[in-house]
Structure 1
Amino acid sequence: MSSAEAAAPRITLIDGRSGAGKTTYAAALAARTGAQLLSLDDVYPGWDGLEAGEAHVLEHVLRALAEGRPPRWRSYNWVDDRPGSWHELDPACDLIIEGCGAISPAARALAHHAVWVELADDAERRRRAIARDGESFARNWDRWAVQEQVHAARHAPRETADEIVEPLSPPSGR
């Protein structure tokens, strides 16, 4: 490993379906490691924006870091349904990117570690996501789920991950 590679920030990608536990897992990892945390929920440009959010972070954060450009990302104002402000990231600080769409072959090639999180079954994921995000998510659940399925079919994030975080299996009964 060269000294430039040794000095590069460690990049971790955390992906999974809505309500799977990605944000909780990523926040705990960031708190434990001191890494900065970027949530794709803040980047997606609306309910049809999974692919656009993924592409935005790939270009403005991951490729920027790889090319020595300042990493930055643009938030999305969900209330006003329009782009928000740009945010700078510290290019020297470790980074965790979490959200559905975080792991793709292109992103994985620019990151050190990738984690797939599935801490809940489909019914529990839906319940958790709606409890977190409210009725707006309830109305858009199916619309968003289709994009998650397309992402999974196109990029195989679970299969590409270095680590899979699943719920603990219940103890076997005797």
Structure 2
Amino acid sequence: MTRLYAGEPAAGPWRAVPAREVLALLGRPRVLAVDGRSGGGKTTVAQRLAATVPGATVLHTDDVAWYHAFFDWADLMRDGILAPLARGGPVAYRPPAWDERGREGAIVVPARCPLVIVEGVGIGRRELSAYVDALLWVQTDADEARRRGLERDGADHADFWAEWQAAEDPFQAEQRPWERAGLIVSGAPDLAHDPLSELVIAPAD
């Protein structure tokens, strides 16, 4: 049985659909937010969707939050990325910590990009909802998400994982982004599907 996080309702019924159909069901958004739990499969979902649209760009909240804060980055995301996108312009954004710590490069979106997918824990927050055309919530078993996270980051990061969850759990419980999602995507689907071209989805309540 799937163990969900506190307050998150179980989604269903599930069905497998081509990734391109997911975008059609959402009204073919230009700016799509993909939210979910850490280790839940958000990046995989974002990449699978982006692969269906030539020229699509995937951005990561982790790049904006880098050496800044776990979740106190909404103003940086809005002013540096989402507001310029809403005005129809290109993006070439360097968050403050990039300059402070000498990180090279920038977060870049070319002008007239047909699809911008922003993935990461917290991107579905209320204060950014006016700047995205659609939101997907990736629902994943809590134990599987933790296993993946520690596999990705290393078992020696267990203390950091606990610190992160202590911040993430109340943040998501208060924000409840799944209630604003257009669709729910399974981050660890049991349903048979083609993992390269399909996603397993359920209607949002």
**Normalising by the residue count of structure 1, what TM-score does the alignment of the two structures yield?**
0.77
Deviation at 1:132, TM superposition (A): 1.1
- Paired with 2:47 and 2:108, the residues of 1 have a C-alpha distance of 19
Q: Matched residues, percent identical? A: 34
Whether 1:157 aligns to 2:170 is: no
In structure 2, relative to structure 1, the CA distance for the partners of 1:69 and 1:106 (3 Å cut) is farther
Compute the displacement of 1:116 (Å).
Answer: 0.4
* Structure-1 residue corresponding to 2:66: 45
Structure that is richer in helix per residue: 1
- How many angstroms does 1:13 deviate by? 0.1
1:165–1:107 Cα change, 3 Å = same
Moved more, 35-44 or 10-19: 35-44
Q: What is the Cα-based RMSD across aligned positions, in Å? A: 2.6
Partner Cα distance (1:83, 1:142) in 2: 28
Alignment of 1:121 with 2:149, yes or no, is no
Distance 1:144 1:115 in 2: 22
- Give secondary structure in 2 for the equivalent of 1:50: coil
- Residue 170 of structure 1: CA displacement? 6.7
Higher relative contact order (CA 8 A, sep 6+): 2
Q: For structure 2, list consecutive stretches of 5 or more residues without a partner in the other structure.
A: 1-28, 193-205
Residue pair 2:88, 2:112 contacting (<8 A) in 1 also: no
Misfit runs of 4+, over 6 Å: none
For structure 1, which runs of at least 5 residues remain unmatched after alignment?
1-8
State how many pairs are aligned.
158
